[in-house]
């Protein structure tokens, strides 16, 4: 997650849910890896792990509640 947030044009907070200091130290090394992520490597990652964003799904109770508000 730290690598993807570092390489993202619109960065987020990648360090919000750290469990311990070892995770923080590991995530702070993410910028060191960025030069290795060439467009070819990114394309291989995207091909192996396709990401299709979608909105949150509503449960039946919230749909009923929304009709009556």
Please answer whether residues 42 and 35 qualify as being in contact, where contact means their C-beta atoms are separated by less than 8 angstroms.
Answer: no
DSSP-assigned letter for residue 49: S
Chain segment 1-58, per-residue pLDDT in tens: 666 666 666 656 555 556 788 887 887 887 888 888 899 998 898 899 888 877 777 7
33 Cβ contact list (under 8 Å, min separation 6)? 3
Whole-number pLDDT of residue 13: 59
Q: Is the pTM of this model over 0.75?
A: no
Chain Cα centroid distance, residue 34 = 16
Listed in order, strand segments (DSSP E) in 1-69 are none
């Amino acid at each position: 997650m730290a690598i993807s947030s570092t390489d993202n044009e619109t960065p987020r907070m990648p360090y919000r849910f750290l469990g311990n200091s070892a995770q923080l130290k590991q995530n702070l090394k993410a910028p060191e890896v960025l030069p290795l992520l060439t467009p070819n490597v990114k394309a291989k990652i995207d091909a192996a792990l396709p990401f299709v964003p979608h909105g949150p799904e509503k449960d039946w109770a919230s749909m009923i509640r929304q009709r009556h508000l």
